[in-house]
Amino acid sequence: MKLQNYALGKWIDGDGEGKALHNAINGEVVAMATSKGLDFAEMMHYARTVGGPKLRKMTFHERGRMIKKLALHLHGVRKKFYPISYATGATKGDSWVDIDGGIGTLFAYASLRKKFPNESYYVDGEAASLSKGGTFIGHHIMVPKEGVAIHINAFNFPVWGMLEKVAVNLLAGVPAIVKPATITSFLTEAFVKEIVASKILPEGALQLICGSAHGILDHVISQDIVTFTGSATTGKMLKSTPRILDEAVPFNMEADSLNCSVLGPNAVPGTPEFELFVKEVKREMTVKCGQKCTAIRRIIVPQNLVDAVQIALGKELAKTTIGDPQVEGVKMGALAGKAQVIEVKERIDILLNSSKIVYGNLENFEVIGADKNKGSFMSPILLLNEDPFNKTDVHDIEAFGPVSTIVPYNGMDEAIELAKMGKGSLCCSIATGDDKVAREFVLGAASHHGRILVINEESAKESTGHGSPMPMLVHGGPGRAGGGEEMGGMRGVMHYLQRCAIQGSPTSITAITNQYQVGAKQTEKQVHPFRKHFEELEVGETLITAKHTVTEADIANFANVSGDNFYAHVDATSLEGTIFEGRVAHGYFVLSKAAGLFVDAKKGPVLLNYGLDECRFVKPVYPGMTIGVKFTVKEKIDQEKRDEEDIAKGIVKFLVDVYDETGETVAIATILTMVKKINQEL
């Protein structure tokens, strides 16, 4: 079977026979792969001119719903991909991480749409005042880049590696070309065929290259984005492509790194943290046969606990049965291919110059349900480096398989230093029940790691573990790890957006952003805003309320009702040395009275008060002062119906500007109201 490439809206066979891809369990040929004959420049032009415009016309909410629909579809058919995944050497558990984990990332980014406006762009941060009179301000807006995301992925996660990147660029409104590692691309191809057949994504949103993509980076332009996952050596070579440098193309690199896990000094045998540590290390050595960019390569333990860890870990590793993932009882499958076996053994040979094997055997191990010589199997190998400060291969050489090394430390300073000697990693963990130890380690080591997990009994039941990147947190790391950041929730989406500073009058910036800016022109309407449905309200329309003169009775009554008897409100004799000239009204009284002034009490489209944001009391209010409110529609946030029975509605943010008889603002806040829509079919 020859794998197909998906380019220019159709499935295309590459020229020639191609490269043979083998079943990692039995060595049989699974497929042939070639991309020969593809025009990469034409593919990129197609993405930019066909897929890009379609995605950019959609709002964040529409893109998010599209991703959710895709996730639901793939979740419903996911089981049919497991047999294909087994051929990559993955067990059922490994496949779950890859397949279900990838689909889970789609769901996570679909939900993230709610953090963005129902617009095709995003308004970033707060407005900046650029003039004394307030007629000139600045802001930042973020729009989708008009290029294509090129994803060059690693062999270890052929599904998750694609979906965790594609979910982000699709939500941002940018099309993608996916180049999976050829060796396991047969699984990626099967998944993309399902995606294309679903017809959920617009034309041009996704293309696939099965085979070599040599030369594709020679066609990038400044609006494109490149992401790379793989070895640091390959990543550095690609990152230095002249075209990447000439066009200043963003290049996000996530490279394999020498991640570590630290056993805290008080996590001795018999404590929950010791047991959790051993299980976590064992899991990271054996899941995906150790072929994870986040796998634990350096096991940093107190000098006095080296023997205990070695024995305990050896017992756990001995329970690891190796073989065909489809055979009952098999816990670890195979490496992705024979070439990986050779490479890992070569790296182990180098490490043996400064370390020794304390568990496992490179040749003598049992395999269940398969021929050890035909498949790409390997025993877990546990090494011990007794002098890690002087024999530093362990901090430089990575064996990308079920291989890890114990290194001892004396004192937290040494543990931190050893952790940093990896020259930057994707993730690190520390097992300790002492939060003071955790704080010392995290603050000392965070500069050299993209993520740090604290392992303890309290979080054990729900913790996702050392090697699990989470969609809402950044995945990447400094130095050797490549210096990139993937996922990270909203942070990841912004990697595909262009931030542009905009300057002008508050009225102009309001018109551009569709968010009311303080100082912009306000429009008074005859109908009270609480009498209007969501669709009828306009950003900038303002209610000027009646006014109220504050009295001492107001202050006394509010103190009695609220129980707030702070001295500045109730004891005029205690004000000497304070900033107050006399008894001052409660800030919350001012806000409450403001609500009394702007609320229309009759039943109408307003369903409820949803919350309060950005409340500030900026000027004291004394008895005798008169306050009024300018009540302005600040922003409208569309909401989706949860089901057919739900009420169609949206959230309206109102700017509450409370001012005194001099016209100065005394309090300012943003309230959120839930407002019914006219059209209940939406």
pLDDT of 605 above 70: yes
Task: Give the number of domains in the chain.
Answer: 3
Same domain (yes/no): 436, 307? yes
pLDDT digits 0-9 by tens, 556-582: 999 999 998 988 888 888 888 888 888
Are the CB atoms for 143 and 59 separated by under 8 Å?
no
pLDDT of 332 above 80: yes
The answer to whether residue 126 is domain-embedded is no
Closest CA to 636 of 668, 670, 594: 670
- Residue 33's DSSP bridge partners are 19
pLDDT digits 0-9 by tens, 393-438: 999 999 999 999 999 999 999 999 999 999 999 999 999 999 999 9
Least confident of 145-159, 463-477, 493-507: 463-477
Same domain (yes/no): 232, 341? no
The answer to whether residue 528 is domain-embedded is yes
| CATH number where 535 lies | 3.10.129.10
The answer to whether residue 485 is domain-embedded is no
Phi and psi angles of residue 94, each rounded to the nearest 5 degrees, phi first: -60, -45
Provide the pLDDT confidence category of residue 620 given band limits of 50, 70 and 90.
very high
**CA torsion through residues 63, 64, 67, 69, sign:** negative
Residue 118: CB atoms within 10 A of its CB come to 17
Same domain (yes/no): 536, 648? yes
User: 444 vs 486, which has greater pLDDT?
Assistant: 444
The answer to whether residue 133 is domain-embedded is no
**Stretch 329-352: mean pLDDT:** 91
Residues 6+ apart with CB under 8 A from 47: 148, 175, 176, 177, 204, 207
Residues 6+ apart with CB under 8 A from 240: none
pLDDT of 533 above 70: yes
Same domain (yes/no): 113, 81? yes
Cα dist from 142 to 251, 497, 499, whole Å: 19, 6, 4
- Residue 144's DSSP bridge partners are 497
pLDDT of 17? 82
Side-chain half-sphere CA neighbours of 348 within 13 A: 24
Residue 71: CB atoms within 10 A of its CB come to 23
**CA 457, CA 496: separation in Å to the nearest integer?**
39
Closest CA to 331 of 312, 313, 310, 316: 316
Are the CB atoms for 231 and 256 separated by under 8 Å?
yes
Q: If you count DSSP H runs as helices and E runs as strands, how many of each does the chain have, helices first? A: 20, 28
The answer to whether residue 104 is domain-embedded is yes
Same domain (yes/no): 406, 538? no
- DSSP category for residue 605: S
Q: Which domain does 102 fall in, by range?
A: 4-120+138-254+491-498
**CA 205, CA 196: separation in Å to the nearest integer?**
10
- DSSP category for residue 323: B
| CATH number where 468 lies | 3.40.309.10
Domain end, chosen from 467, 498, 529, is at: 498
Same domain (yes/no): 164, 60? yes
pLDDT of 452? 92
Reported pTM: 0.87
**CA 235, CA 204: separation in Å to the nearest integer?**
27
The answer to whether residue 505 is domain-embedded is no
Burial code (b: 16+ CB inside 10 Å, e: under 16) for 234-254 equals: bbeebbebeebeebebbbbbb
Closest CA to 583 of 548, 615, 617, 559: 559
- DSSP category for residue 51: I
Least confident of 208-212, 320-324, 477-481: 477-481
The answer to whether residue 223 is domain-embedded is yes
Provide the pLDDT confidence category of residue 641 given band limits of 50, 70 and 90.
confident
Same domain (yes/no): 282, 226? no
User: 467 vs 425, which has greater pLDDT?
Assistant: 425
Same domain (yes/no): 574, 474? no
The set of catalytic residues is 254, 293
pLDDT of 682? 62
Residue with tokens 């009270």: 528
> Please, what is the average pLDDT of the chain?
91
The H-assigned helical ranges of 601-681 are none
Closest CA to 371 of 404, 397, 338: 338
**CA 177, CA 657: separation in Å to the nearest integer?**
49
pLDDT digits 0-9 by tens, 81-137: 999 999 998 999 889 889 999 999 999 999 999 889 889 999 998 899 989 888 999
**CA 398, CA 228: separation in Å to the nearest integer?**
18
pLDDT of 232? 81
SS3 557: helix
Same domain (yes/no): 384, 453? yes
Cα dist from 166 to 63, 192, 292, 654, whole Å: 12, 11, 20, 36
SS3 248: coil
Q: Which amino acid is residue 555, in one-letter code?
A: I
Same domain (yes/no): 202, 297? no
- DSSP category for residue 527: S
Same domain (yes/no): 571, 457? no
pLDDT digits 0-9 by tens, 58-74: 999 999 999 999 999 99
What the block records as the tokens of 354 is 């400064």
Same domain (yes/no): 21, 83? yes
**CA 162, CA 434: separation in Å to the nearest integer?**
38
The answer to whether residue 682 is domain-embedded is no
pLDDT of 121? 94
pLDDT of 45? 96
Residue with tokens 């739900």: 646
Closest CA to 665 of 673, 655, 657: 657
| CATH number where 108 lies | 3.40.605.10
- Residue 299's DSSP bridge partners are 261, 406
Residues 6+ apart with CB under 8 A from 367: 322, 323, 375, 377
What the block records as the tokens of 215 is 């030369």
Report the 3 state secondary structure along 325-346. CCCCCCCECCCCCHHHHHHHHH
